[in-house]
Structure 1
Amino acid sequence: MLNKFIAVLSLMVASLAFMPAAFAGHHNEGDHGMKKDIVDVAAENGSFNTLVAAIKAAGLVDTLKSEGPFTVFAPTDEAFAKLPEGTVEMLLEPENKDKLASILTYHVVSGKVMSTDVVKIDSATSVQGEMLMVEVVDGNVMINNAKIIMADVKASNGVIHVIDTVLMPK
């Protein structure tokens, strides 16, 4: 339990220290009156261009702009760049829309799960249907093989936790 508490504290401190400027205005606001949904927050940040393009290609914009709430484990552009060459381009092709949607919905959990809640669980069911494993390794909160590098980015319809690796369903 102490390990998980330290991990939450580390996440919160790291989130404040390394928060991209585009998130700064939204991070600590309450949900009331907030107008930017998950898609808007990600699009304005500049570190999620690939994710936003993928959300559009998969036809998930309206879903992720809906009331929710959702928890999104959002891979950065750098996370997508770690995939084998040509993977992103292949997934963005219209004939791969279903596969792309499956991968993206694997990054989403129903409900608003803040970092203080994430560390209390060992797994969560993704919107895609498969389980995501949650564990603390060396003070870092891991979702499968991805490290949460910024937590609790609030949006009007949920929360974003930024991850360093694209999650792939089985």
Structure 2
Amino acid sequence: MTVFAFALAPVTAAKADHYAKAPSVDIVDTAVAAGSFKTLTAAVQAAGLEATLRSAGPFTVFAPTDEAFAKLPAGTVETLLKPENKDQLVSILTYHVLSGKVYSKSLAGKQIEVATVQGTTVSVDGTDGVKVDNANVVKADIKTSNGVIHVIDTVLMP
């Protein structure tokens, strides 16, 4: 789970804020710089999805925080990160990703089903804030060079 911590230099809060606003930084580096997605970035690397999320995209990522992962039953994250569970991990992570850039303003006032990269749909309710399945979007529209990140408070399960 700490591969990114070893591979990347520490980032100050000022740099993290800069990355969140700078369109030249991709989804992965934006998540790493924020500091609240350590579990997500470790899972992305374990699933072999880092190169994809660094590619041109564009992608929309519903990014669960470390606190969201902590809500899962004890041992769930550790189990998912095992090599023998890679297919399940890929399925869960790609359920958090949409093809293209989807900003919160395009979801406002709507209740829709949206296709995920995983191949199924996720329910989006934009009638009172934005909710994705059972997760609340707690910070929306973080622009990156290859898409947009919406921070969510719960891990989505396909």
Q: What is the match of residue 153 of structure 1? A: 142
Measured against aligned partners, the alpha-carbon deviations of 1:88-143 in whole angstroms (never above 9, x if no partner) come to 00000000011000000000000000111122451210000111101146x22100
Deviation (angstroms), 1:167: 0.2
| Partner AA of 1:112 in structure 2 | K
Matched, 1:110 2:99: yes
Matched, 1:24 2:13: no
Using structure 1 for the length normalisation, give the TM-score.
Answer: 0.80
* Aligned residues of 1:23 and 1:153 also touching (Cα < 8 A): no
| Partner AA of 2:136 in structure 1 | K
**Partner secondary structure for residue 122 of structure 1:** strand
The percentage of aligned residue pairs carrying the same residue is 59
Quick one: structure 1 residues 141 and 22, their matched pair in 2 at CA, closer, same or farther if it must change by over 3 Å?
Answer: farther
| Partner AA of 1:68 in structure 2 | G
Instruction: Give the 4+ runs in structure 1 shifted more than 6 A.
Output: none
Bigger relative CO (Cα 8 Å, ≥ 6 apart)? 1
Using structure 2 for the length normalisation, give the TM-score.
Answer: 0.86
Further displaced range: 113-122 or 39-48: 113-122
- Out of 43, 60, 74, the residue aligned to residue 71 of structure 1 is 60
Q: What is the match of residue 131 of structure 2? A: 142
Unaligned runs of 5+ in 2: 1-12
The 5 A counterparts of 1:1-170 are: 23-29=16-22, 34-119=23-108, 120=110, 122-136=112-126, 139-169=128-158
Deviation (angstroms), 1:21: 5.7
Deviation (angstroms), 1:77: 0.1
| Partner AA of 2:27 in structure 1 | I
How many equivalent pairs are there?
Answer: 145
Q: What is the match of residue 4 of structure 1? A: none
* Aligned residues of 1:26 and 1:154 also touching (Cα < 8 A): no
